[in-house]
Amino acid sequence: MKRRTLLAGLGAALASPALAQSWAPTRPVTLVLGFPPGGASDAAVRIIAPFLQAALGQSVVIDNRAGAGGNLGAQAVARAAPDGHTIGSANMGTLAVNPALVRNMGFDPAADLAPVSMLFNAVNVLVCRSNRPFRSVADIVAAAKARPETISYGTGGVGSPGHLCGILFDHIAGTRTVPVPYRGGGPQMLALVAGEHDFGFSPMGTVLSHVQAGTIRALGVATKTRAAELPDAPTMIEAGLPDFEVLNWDGIIVPRATPAPIRARIGEVVRTALADPALVAAFRQRGLQAWPTTEADMAAQLAADAAKWQPLIRAAGIEPS
């Protein structure tokens, strides 16, 4: 499928520091989020908002536009005036996965939005209830191969990071497991603890307290290196599934037509905030890894995720709605 890059005119975007410093907002800045209060995305923008406010000299107001897998929030950003007074936070699912799941998103991520910087990555952890017989990733693979289409995993909904992890698991391991969707990551975790499904992939911030309490068991992490919070949990690659990496990121976006000096200034402020030790620590307490990047790096990661996930979604037989 022919795709346009989310970063058009990169050379213009990389404005000089002097030009970037020359822009400042003249009224409060609205930071639109496509998810409800209480989740990791909401926590992250509320942590970074005071840093942005101090640097920009204007209030930063969080606007939760929850719904449609983050599409409502991203659409609001796409339709906003491109003057720097409306920015957004959107995740990998909204920008890279939803185009394969939703026939009419109401906007085009490539044509209507421009990246500024990544915000965070949330480590996905493969977990099972502590009374399940699985002691390793290999145990789940063996059970799934012995009993195809009977071993189930919970997800936070179609196209959620947990669902993507399950799709990749089946693709690499050669298994046929059964996804069980819930209305978000919170209900998914409660259902896992209650024993409603066999295993699941959930963000570090969601699973850590349950692992520490002994109610669930961490079997692997979907990153290339082990997580400091769970040093005994191998990576999925170490556990025998090559190339198993699932990044669960949120990033800062603006309307596509936002002038380069404004984008550069917002990006500079965001990256400075993400390098602050206090912010890094606050993110880490919630299982989030601060991830400052350039516009080009965010665009490249988005393109890579779209190229990775959209074919896998189609191969899994998931029809767009």
pLDDT tens digits for 240-292?
A: 999 999 999 999 999 999 999 999 999 999 999 999 999 999 999 998 999 99
pLDDT tens digits for 119-128?
A: 999 999 999 9
pLDDT over 90 percentage in the chain: 82
Q: Largest Cα–Cα distance in the chain?
A: 64
> Side by side, which strands form the sheet with 60-64?
60-64, 29-33, 86-91, 249-255, 113-122, 288-290
In angstroms, how far is CA 204 from the centroid of its own chain?
Answer: 12
pLDDT tens digits for 145-167?
A: 999 999 999 998 888 899 999 99
Domain 10-120+249-315 part of CATH 3.40.50.1460 = no
Residue among 90, 83, 21 at smallest CA distance from 57: 21
Report H helices in the chain: 10-13, 17-21, 40-56, 71-78, 92, 98-101, 109-112, 137-146, 161-173, 185-193, 204-213, 260-274, 277-285, 295-315
pTM, entire model: 0.85
Every domain range in the chain assigned CATH 3.40.190.10: 124-221
Of the candidate ranges 34-43, 78-87, 167-176, the one whose mean pLDDT is the lowest: 34-43
pLDDT of residue 1: 40
Beta strand pairing status for 152-155 and 124-129? unpaired
Every domain range in the chain assigned CATH 3.40.190.150: 10-120+249-315
Amino acid at 300: A
Q: Which CATH class is domain 124-221?
A: alpha beta
Assign 3-class secondary structure to 158-220.
CCCHHHHHHHHHHHHHCCCCEEEECCCHHHHHHHHHCCCCCEEEEEHHHHHHHHHHCCEEEEE
pLDDT of residue 37: 86
192 has pLDDT over 90: yes
Spatial contact of 78 and 255, defined as CB atoms under 8 Å apart: yes
CA distance 157 to 179: 9
